[in-house]
Structure 1
């Protein structure tokens, strides 16, 4: 087994300010939380931007540039910029931050899907900002659009123009087959960083059988040409990433995916979740990859070749 790469998804676009006082929202909070996560053992930092006035998801590349240089100056971590953005954003909006930053790694969603976050409406009586309830409700009747043409555009812009590699986000086994299609066309190159995702309403459920099935299908499709990673939402986060590590995979944690660090207990930081999974991995007699080891495993272009 190679060393385990820990990714940390620092803020995302799903959770809202009402849900946790610890969710990073401003550029300063995002930078601070990302740096702490790297110090705790995260080799990769997956980053979205937020409007600092109200915490809503933002595609503004100027906001990315308020925290990216600080993260680079303070850590050696691999920066992974979203191209998924948030529900309702245009593809050009979703690409804006990544194109400005020219990072080593970007996320790439491998299929259109329902992405239901509206059930969270029932957990909160009042919201701090007017946009929050409307945002959650909008997911009831919105498709998270990632067509073949969209994927081709992201691959062309980020891979061919910038030399950026991809965290292929696969919410269903069908997305693995879509990735195999792009590999067959030689539009993407190994080693593929395959992030299998569990527990999103509209995607595959957080069942152990699904996790193992995804691994079998990925093995069949990609052989030795991929590096497997797992993330799961909410209360499934830590059990699923632990199973991934036991089965030879890499792991992703962070407040984008879950706000908790135990049953009913909010995580006080991204670093807390990183420390938890690092402790588990090391207790299982496995080693955690450093950022430079992650770069070598994923064949990244290096931190000196980014745009920030």
Structure 2
């Protein structure tokens, strides 16, 4: 177990959660403020999606990402930004013609997925390393698309967080490394418990950890009620921690929470086990991040 642990807050996600909790941030202002509050509570990294301010639904609008990024960068509280580049992969076959996408299908090219990353140059971005039966829909991220997207990220100088929703994703992430498309020590995120991907249990986490390259940084999260158990299991196995409203809405059974409260809960449990959050500045050094937009003096 590490004594200093990177703590990520997954701030809002893109799921249908806005109607389920009043604490899920929707507008760029709300998302930025929630990220800053999480950082004050101990988060090292804020993982950012954006939503349509009018509907609360999924959005890929670079202007919304830009507003969130600018608000966080202008704040007095430091936090590393990790922007999603995994949007625009949802495929739901049409009932009339399964060769066509039906209602809810949302597909972007690698270039479109990369646009906010290339424009805003965050310190981190996600790279979802494969396709998956994601609940009742298919998430599409083909190998050739991933190679193209990895190359775009590499050219931008942003460090990718390699998102692995199943064991095959981990194998392909390692293939990207072998092909020279990932620079420096790789950073992995095990995404556990999403139907129908890798299970949220210790056995699966250990298996995936043991398949990592020797120089890899890693983290893991579980969704719903498995959020905190998987976060702490990850820490105990030598990894890092992710919690937040993207993955779980509850502090306890029937008790809705904020991002800051979820971070505080994780940090409290960590402290009882002799660990503490890594500061953003410590994590920059640890991960070898580039940070061209950080405010001087923060």
Whether TM-score is above 0.5 comes out as yes
2:123 alignment partner in structure 1: 104
1:285 alignment partner in structure 2: 274
Deviations 1:123-145, CA, capped at 9 Å, x for gaps: xxxxxxxxxxxxxxxxx2x3211
**Partners of 1:100 and 1:65 in 2: how far apart?**
9
Q: CA deviation at 1:114?
A: 1.1
Q: Which residue of 210, 219, 225 maps to 1:229?
A: 219
Q: Which residue of 77, 80, 87 maps to 2:79?
A: 77
Q: CA deviation at 1:304?
A: 2.8
1:23 alignment partner in structure 2: 24
1:148 alignment partner in structure 2: 143
**Partners of 2:107 and 2:256 in 1: how far apart?**
29
2:160 alignment partner in structure 1: 166
Q: CA deviation at 1:152?
A: 1.3
- Give the match's secondary structure for 2:25: coil
Deviations 1:16-67, CA, capped at 9 Å, x for gaps: 3211111000111111101100111111111011110010110001111122
**Partners of 1:271 and 1:15 in 2: how far apart?**
20
| Alpha-carbon RMSD | 1.5
Q: Which runs of 5+ in 2 are unaligned?
A: 91-105
- Give the match's secondary structure for 2:5: coil
Q: CA deviation at 1:207?
A: 2.0
Q: CA deviation at 1:105?
A: 0.5
Following superposition of structure 1 onto structure 2, how do residues 186-265 of structure 1 map, counting pairs within 5 Å?
A: 186-218=180-212, 222-223=213-214, 225-265=215-255
Deviations 1:114-170, CA, capped at 9 Å, x for gaps: 111xxxxxxxxxxxxxxxxxxxxxxx2x3211111111122111212x100011100
Contact kept in structure 1, 2:154 and 2:183, CA below 8 Å: no
- Give the match's secondary structure for 1:272: helix
Question: Does residue 171 of structure 2 align to residue 177 of structure 1?
Answer: yes
Paired positions, count: 276
Q: What TM-score, normalized to structure 2?
A: 0.89
Q: CA deviation at 1:305?
A: 6.9
Q: CA deviation at 1:2?
A: 5.5
Q: What TM-score, normalized to structure 1?
A: 0.86
More moved, 13-22 vs 57-66: 13-22
1:60 alignment partner in structure 2: 61
**Partners of 1:2 and 1:266 in 2: how far apart?**
29
Deviations 1:240-271, CA, capped at 9 Å, x for gaps: 1011111111011110011111122111x111
More moved, 85-94 vs 149-158: 85-94
More helix by share: 1
Q: Which runs of 5+ in 1 are unaligned?
A: 117-139
1:12 alignment partner in structure 2: 13
